[in-house]
Amino acid sequence: MFGALMSVSDELMMRYFELLSDRALAELEDVRAGRVHPMEAKKQLAAEMVARFHGQENAAAAREGFERRFQRRELPKEVPEFTWMDPSERVGICRLLHDAGLSTSKAEARRLVEQGAVRIDGQRIVDPAGEVSAVGSPLVEVGKRRILRIRFGSKK
């Protein structure tokens, strides 16, 4: 919910405040006049909405989580894992993205790689024909929201 409200355009933000916020319209004058940075205004609105439906504590946690992930670009504390059960020593990046559920198809995986949306252990991957070594536990990021730790196992 917090992230969805943060994605509202600056142009629509005032309308969202007017429709959703409990604040008096007079209180919104600083936002309307531009004396409050649009990002800070959105954070205030998002926190207000999360607090209304999920409580103040969850609103503070959502704000902190948003700032940590999207402003400071820190990784989440808990990253989901996917175990790759294939005895191969290397795996194609597009196949890995698709099989791990990070893309809906190999064609989409190819487009994501070509657009520069894929990172493995922080390194941008730009070659859709590239391969990943089945060693270690790489962290795969697709965009800012999809993140997964890959564990390599083998079928035995």
User: Which tens digit of pLDDT belongs to each residue from 19-40?
Assistant: 888 887 777 888 888 888 888 9
Domain assignment present for 62: yes
User: Which pTM does this prediction carry?
Assistant: 0.59
Domain assignment present for 76: no
Alpha-carbon distance 128 to 130, whole Å? 5
Q: Could you tell me if 130 and 149 lie in one domain?
A: yes
Domain assignment present for 11: yes
Range of the domain at 90: 81-153
Q: Could you tell me if 50 and 112 lie in one domain?
A: no
Work out how many domains the chain is built from and give that number. Answer: 2
List pLDDT tens digits, range 47-70: 999 999 999 999 999 998 888 877
43-56: burial string, b at 16+ Cβ within 10 Å, e else: bbbbbbbbbeeeee
pLDDT means over runs of 10, the chain (156 residues): 89 88 82 86 92 94 86 76 84 92 94 94 91 86 87 66
